[in-house]
């Protein structure tokens, strides 16, 4: 597993879009589960993004998790970002509940499936042309 180089991006300018993306990810999580439980040979890189709270009023962070497991009562995944919060650590296996899920993604034939919040962040962060266009082409968005 490789670290996801992901900087914290403020979402104040796209809060409505981000809330919609999270809602869309949660509403379609069944699609993720279906592919995850019976992956086709062309489906790889299954990840879930979950919100972790530092504590009452201390802030929160949405982190990508890999090596997802639904074998126990509570799902778990391995943290793939370098967290800014101190309650979880890079490469730590952490539990997550359904209400913590804020996104999901996997690759199919080189195309990102899901990644709803990622698409919002890319749209907000990059101007048309240049790097954004390269990412769109590489992710076939």
3-state secondary structure 87-121: CCCCCCEEEECHHHEEEEEEEECCEEEECHHHHHH
pLDDT per residue, tens digit, the chain (141 aa), is 555 555 555 555 458 889 999 999 999 999 999 999 999 999 999 999 999 998 777 788 999 999 999 998 999 999 999 998 999 999 999 999 999 999 999 999 999 999 999 998 887 766 455 445 545 555 555
CA 141 to CA 135: how far, in whole Å? 8
Q: What are the extents of the domains in the chain? A: 12-139
């Amino acid at each position: 597993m490789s670290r996801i180089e992901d900087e914290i991006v403020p979402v104040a300018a796209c809060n409505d879009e981000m809330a919609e993306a999270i809602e869309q990810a949660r509403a379609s999580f069944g699609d993720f589960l279906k592919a995850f439980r019976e992956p086709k040979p062309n489906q790889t890189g299954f990840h879930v993004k979950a919100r972790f709270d530092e504590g009452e009023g201390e802030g929160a962070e949405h982190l990508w998790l890999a090596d997802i497991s639904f074998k126990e009562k509570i799902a778990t995944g391995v943290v793939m970002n370098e967290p800014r919060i101190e309650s979880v650590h890079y490469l730590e296996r952490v539990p997550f509940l359904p209400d913590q899920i804020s996104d999901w993604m996997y690759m199919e034939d080189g195309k990102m499936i899901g990644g709803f919040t990622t698409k919002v962040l890319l749209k907000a962060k990059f101007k048309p042309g240049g790097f954004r266009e390269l990412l769109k082409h590489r992710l076939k968005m």
